[in-house]
Chain A
């Protein structure tokens, strides 16, 4: 026991150990952060800690308490129209704003968690100083601690701002949106005129209910999202690889030029190319006009690229081949060149033709190497906002879907966008966001595990 203790370096004690073994000042650092440090002569650090502790106290007494009080109900006082005798008109008397209460509630939780972590750090720091004094070693001055943050603890300095950015602009908003999924903040409960409140899992039930109007939108869209993701991922993968093989062939000249032609379509911003395609494929767009000129369709007819559900879906998948094949070309060209040539030579000797060679050698090899990126691509396609939004915008619109909020080519993500931005059904949007996330994470976990198993299996052979 004693031996083990000896081996533990100073400053590695956890919070409980620090607080349990620390002296009076260290223990009191939990209530008065910085006290222990001041006692051991670390004045600047101690005062800094004390200042941070006081700031939280001021925040807690000033804002925190009132937020905490309102958070369970998200506000009770509705905005009211009141007759103002002095002015002779009706004026709006502001009520509670549920949205701001929810937001400040989330911020309160974040700040409180940060404060608890800070207290933990303060106690550990106090105990560290105490241990140093007990061991008869010098307690580092403030300047030296700063220097340490540019050396052994450089990661803290480097990570501070990036992590703060992620916390404030990604995690905090996400938690805020997730919490909205458990409220009834829809188009009928808009702030500041009305209040919204917690409803538990009711929104999830509404969205997932097979028979409800919402469920009859959700399930078909989910089905189309998967169909789309499967086609978009695998068609692009196979076709892109075939193209790469074609260009890699010995007898093809100007390889660089051909690759350039295809990769140029990635280089040009998607909003330029896809918006152009959209105008080309309109009922009176260039494609239909040309077909009329050539007499392939009647003068008043138009191919319903985005006006018929099936046409629109096929069009989108085809256009997406245009978008996606160059990406596959870009990523697989190098890997294809790495396939051991002995494999192909052996196949030649056995008399395999091109198709068999592709199916039995190239494809398995590529799947083996690129499985992780293929999974990522699949997830990205489930969340592929740009192609759908720029190309069809979800069209054709249909009243079969919940209040006409979605069209036949909408994916879950574009529907989420329309629900929140156009229709202000925030709570349902949040539910769909969470469900999309759950689907993505389940698919990735299952798929990654399978590839790992696959690799291990290969390892034994």
Chain B
């Protein structure tokens, strides 16, 4: 009688809803094999219920299994990242290791990365990228805010066409125009020497006006009545923009600043074409990439890891800081 009852509970999804009888008194369930309990756990996904005794034990087991599964998955996901960190601390050279933990732990990879600069000059790449990203950040933030404000607040004839064109342009493979961009830059003498960095700034920031969707979505949420009130007080549109809208939009400005700051650190397609063979004007991304070229990989693999760690920590911190806005922006886009 009792057994049948339990089985019914196992087959039909929900014990607590379907049966008014408290389940806590099912002593015999304790004898069930683990296999049955595993099955039970699977069937009980997403249902919370209360009870004590055997049911509590089952629930506990299920919770443990859930956490174990999550832990395994988390290890899988963190493994490459941990591997990089471990590699950066390795004393032994080369790129093929047989152990996860280094045989010899050292910080030499980091110090050599910044001090031995004759062949591959990491500090210089770092400074290059920093300069490029600061300028890119200033220009693209202005571009993105200017376009998204116009699209959100102003009404003019070309508004819809502009938004459609932006959508269509996004469908072209981004680097299809790369060769053409290169020739244009060459035409205005931006492909030699230090001008390469100027070229990079232009490439990274010039078209950012097209990425206005997330910021526009944010501006749309600021009530128009605020603008109207200011307008009645005689403020011009521009004054409203920088006195009211901008201060109210700090989150989205922070988001825009950080994402545009990160772009030069992550891109290696344009950087590779523009920097060419001249390693003095590499950015960090192509510099690290070049460490894995066949002639360097043996000596530089651990330093590649060290460099990656140096770059990845600030980038990851900034990214995690912005991810809230990223998710919000996306769900906003879904609603629209």
A: residues with CB less than 8 A from B are 99-100, 103, 147, 150-152, 154-155, 157-159, 161-163, 165-166, 168-174, 176-177, 243, 245-247, 249-253, 258, 260-273, 275-277, 279-280, 282, 284-286, 289-290, 293, 322, 326, 330-331, 333-335, 344, 348-349, 351-354, 357, 369-370, 372-373, 379, 383, 385, 413, 416-417, 420-421, 426, 429-430, 433, 436-437, 440-441, 444
B: residues with CB less than 8 A from A are 12-14, 17-18, 42-48, 59, 62-63, 66-67, 69-70, 73-74, 76-78, 80-81, 83-84, 87, 95-98, 142-143, 146-147, 149-150, 154, 156, 159, 162, 168-169, 171-181, 183-184, 187, 202-203, 205-210, 236-239, 241, 265-266, 268-269, 273, 285, 288-289, 292, 301, 304-305, 308, 311-312, 315-317, 319-320, 323, 326-327, 330-331, 333-334
Beta-carbon nearest neighbor of A411 in chain B: B173
The answer to whether B315 and A269 have CB atoms under 8 Å apart is yes
What chain B residues lie within 8 Å of A264 (beta carbons)? 77-78, 81, 316, 320
Question: Looking at the complex, which one of A157, A249, A284, A370 makes contact with B66 (CB distance below 8 Å)?
Answer: A249
Min CB distance A406 to B, Å, is: 15
Question: Looking at the complex, which one of A100, A157, A293, A333 makes contact with B98 (CB distance below 8 Å)?
Answer: A293
Min CB distance A351 to B, Å, is: 5
Q: How far is the CA of A434 from the CA of B38 in the complex (A)?
A: 53
Q: List 17 A-B contacts (CB under 8 A).
A: A99-B183, A166-B209, A169-B203, A246-B70, A261-B78, A264-B81, A269-B308, A271-B285, A275-B289, A286-B98, A344-B46, A349-B17, A354-B13, A357-B46, A416-B176, A437-B171, A444-B171
Q: How far is the CA of A426 from the CA of B176 in the complex (A)?
A: 10
The answer to whether B146 and A159 have CB atoms under 8 Å apart is yes
Top 5 A-B pairs, shortest CB-CB distance: A162-B209, A173-B180, A173-B177, A165-B206, A169-B206
Q: How far is the CA of A417 from the CA of B178 in the complex (A)?
A: 10
What chain B residues lie within 8 Å of A169 (beta carbons)? 177, 181, 184, 202-203, 206-207
Q: How far is the CA of A247 from the CA of B98 in the complex (A)?
A: 34
Known: A157-B238, A289-B96, A334-B327. 12 other contacts (CB 8 A): A147-B236, A245-B46, A271-B289, A276-B87, A276-B308, A349-B17, A351-B12, A351-B18, A413-B173, A421-B179, A421-B273, A433-B173
The answer to whether B74 and A285 have CB atoms under 8 Å apart is no
Q: How far is the CA of A249 from the CA of B66 in the complex (A)?
A: 9
The answer to whether A270 and B266 have CB atoms under 8 Å apart is yes
The answer to whether B177 and A351 have CB atoms under 8 Å apart is no
Min CB distance B84 to A, Å, is: 5
Question: Looking at the complex, which one of A158, A159, A174, A266 makes contact with B172 (CB distance below 8 Å)?
Answer: A174
Q: How far is the CA of A250 from the CA of B174 in the complex (A)?
A: 43
The answer to whether B179 and A258 have CB atoms under 8 Å apart is no
The answer to whether B46 and A276 have CB atoms under 8 Å apart is no
Knowing A249-B66, A261-B78, A268-B312, say if A177 contacts B147 (CB, 8 Å).
no
Question: Looking at the complex, which one of A162, A245, A433 makes contact with B176 (CB distance below 8 Å)?
Answer: A433
Q: How far is the CA of A330 from the CA of B305 in the complex (A)?
A: 27
The answer to whether A334 and B331 have CB atoms under 8 Å apart is yes
The answer to whether A150 and B237 have CB atoms under 8 Å apart is yes
The answer to whether B154 and A155 have CB atoms under 8 Å apart is yes
The answer to whether B169 and A331 have CB atoms under 8 Å apart is no
Beta-carbon nearest neighbor of B87 in chain A: A276
Min CB distance B132 to A, Å, is: 15
The answer to whether A265 and B315 have CB atoms under 8 Å apart is no
What chain B residues lie within 8 Å of A263 (beta carbons)? 320, 323
Q: How far is the CA of A437 from the CA of B168 in the complex (A)?
A: 9
Knowing A245-B46, A421-B273, say if A331 contacts B177 (CB, 8 Å).
no
Question: Looking at the complex, which one of A270, A353, A373, A383 makes contact with B333 (CB distance below 8 Å)?
Answer: A373
The answer to whether A243 and B143 have CB atoms under 8 Å apart is no
What chain B residues lie within 8 Å of A243 (beta carbons)? 73
The answer to whether A261 and B266 have CB atoms under 8 Å apart is no
The answer to whether B74 and A262 have CB atoms under 8 Å apart is yes
The answer to whether A276 and B180 have CB atoms under 8 Å apart is no
Q: How far is the CA of A331 from the CA of B333 in the complex (A)?
A: 11
What chain B residues lie within 8 Å of A429 (beta carbons)? 176
Min CB distance B91 to A, Å, is: 17
